[in-house]
């Protein structure tokens, strides 16, 4: 394989030396051997051996790929991708209007970003999704587990208990209405304790911990292969205060974004991030825009912006590869994230028995 030396994943100083010494392709490197290499460039034999190891791995990787092993390279035709996508489930949010504009719910293998002013309901939706991802498949869920990375400290367990109890009740009502065996069997394992025990919670206090956590996540996920949702609540918070070097911030954020995309793709899970809003002052007016700058806008595949309209909460789908832009209203009740008018098809007990209590428009006291 004629891999150019400039494109090999070696340390930059080493690479510069190799190019200066006149090596052009990986083949030449392998032919020279470690002793010759250490003499030509002036590095120790161990370093030369290590470098050759990396080169050999790359070349073998290439060889297996051309021989037909496509599992390592994520290569496929659009038809296969279509079949995969159609077989994949969505994580429902219990707000059918939001599910509709998202095309069925939060998609797996994609990064979804939720931006909004304080108090509008971002953490509520994250907690709702952490519960909803565990709904068994016979009820229309993906039966997965959730990883919750918290940087702001806004995760309240008692609220999750409320949401989970409501979700279990909802499923019980469906099971009673349809009386199928699978449903009843699944309900045995779908209880409050099991829901709470399948949410893996991490608390990161600054950006270094957050980066470390995300880079260590693949190992965690390979042990817990049932995880289908990774929530990072508050990706803006550690990066906004106390960061002088803006170009470093951009680089770190982009690296983080690529790492999250790799996690989403390899482990077939959805990644949900929450972001803050900042003001952009234009010539004549100022607008609220998502924080972390223009380049961060490209990291997420799907972007939802939550905002207020007088006292009604609205969700706008701003960026999506397959759905149109649209805005819908939603409510946050004691049961969690819900529609404004509950659809007529749901269980009666939920409609009449409960008063949807609007969350007051101030800092949420949970």
Which residues of this chain interact with another protein, rule CB under 8 A? 1-4, 6-9, 12, 16, 19-24, 58, 61-62, 65-66, 73-79, 81-82, 84-86, 109-111, 247-248, 250-251, 254-255, 257-258, 261-262, 264-265, 287, 289, 293-295, 297-301, 303, 305, 316, 318-319, 321-322, 324-327
- Closest contact distance (angstroms) between CB of 360 and another protein is 25
In the complex, least distance from residue 366 CB atom to another protein, rounded to whole angstroms: 29
Q: How far is the CB of 354 from another protein (least distance, A)?
A: 33
Q: How many residues does the chain have?
A: 366
Count CA atoms within 13 Å of residue 145 on its CB side.
17
Residue 251, C-beta contacts closer than 8 angstroms, at least 6 positions apart: none
Minimum distance between the CB of residue 91 and another protein, rounded to whole angstroms?
16
Is the Cβ–Cβ distance between 127 and 358 less than 8 Å?
Answer: no
Nearer to another protein by Cβ, of 16 and 216: the residue is: 16
- Please, which residue, 1 or 117, has the CB nearer to another protein? 1
Phi, psi for 316 (deg, rounded to 5): -115, 130
Nearer to another protein, 247 or 311 (CB): 247
Cβ atoms within 10 A of the Cβ of 112, count? 24
Assess contact for 67 and 60: CB atoms under 8 A: no
Closest to another protein by CB, 329 or 342: 329
Indicate the residue among 84 and 182 with the shorter CB distance to another protein. Answer: 84
Rounded to a whole number of angstroms, the minimum distance from the CB of residue 208 to another protein is 16
Sheet with strand 111-116: strands edge to edge? 199-203, 145-150, 227-233, 270-275, 111-116, 302-309, 312-319, 326-333, 336-338
């Amino acid at each position: 394989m004629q891999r150019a030396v400039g494109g090999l994943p070696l340390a930059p100083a080493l690479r510069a030396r190799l190019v200066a010494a006149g090596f052009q392709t990986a083949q030449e490197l392998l032919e020279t051997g470690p002793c010759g290499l250490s003499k030509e460039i002036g590095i120790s034999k161990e370093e030369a051996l290590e470098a050759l190891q990396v080169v050999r791995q790359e070349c073998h990787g290439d060889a297996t790929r051309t021989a037909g092993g496509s599992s390592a390279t994520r290569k496929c035709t659009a038809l296969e991708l279509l079949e995969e996508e159609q077989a994949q489930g969505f994580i429902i949010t219990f707000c059918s209007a939001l599910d509709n504009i998202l095309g069925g719910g939060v998609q797996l293998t994609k990064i979804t970003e939720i931006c909004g002013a304080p108090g509008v309901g971002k953490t509520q939706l994250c907690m709702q999704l952490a519960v909803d991802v565990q709904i068994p498949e016979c009820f229309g869920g993906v039966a997965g587990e959730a990883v919750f990375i918290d940087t702001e400290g806004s995760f309240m367990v008692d609220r999750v208990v409320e949401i989970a109890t409501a979700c279990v009740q909802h499923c019980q009502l469906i099971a009673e209405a349809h009386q199928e065996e699978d449903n009843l069997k699944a309900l045995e394992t779908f209880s409050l304790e099991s829901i709470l025990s399948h949410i893996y919670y991490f608390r990161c206090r600054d950006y270094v911990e957050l980066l470390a956590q995300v880079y260590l996540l693949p190992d965690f996920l390979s042990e817990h292969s049932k995880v289908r949702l990774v929530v990072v609540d508050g990706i803006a918070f550690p990066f906004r205060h106390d960061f002088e070097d803006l170009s470093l911030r951009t680089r770190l954020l982009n690296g983080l974004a690529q790492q999250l995309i790799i996690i989403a793709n390899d482990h077939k899970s959805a990644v949900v991030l929450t972001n803050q809003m900042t003001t952009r002052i234009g010539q004549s007016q100022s607008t609220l825009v998502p924080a972390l700058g223009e380049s961060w806008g490209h990291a997420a595949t799907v972007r939802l912006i939550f905002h207020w309209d007088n006292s009604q909460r609205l969700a706008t789908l701003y960026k999506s590869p397959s759905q149109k832009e649209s805005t819908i209203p939603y409510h946050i009740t004691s049961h969690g994230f819900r529609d404004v008018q509950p659809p007529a098809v749901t269980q009666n007990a939920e409609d009449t028995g409960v008063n949807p209590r609007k969350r007051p428009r101030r800092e949420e006291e949970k």
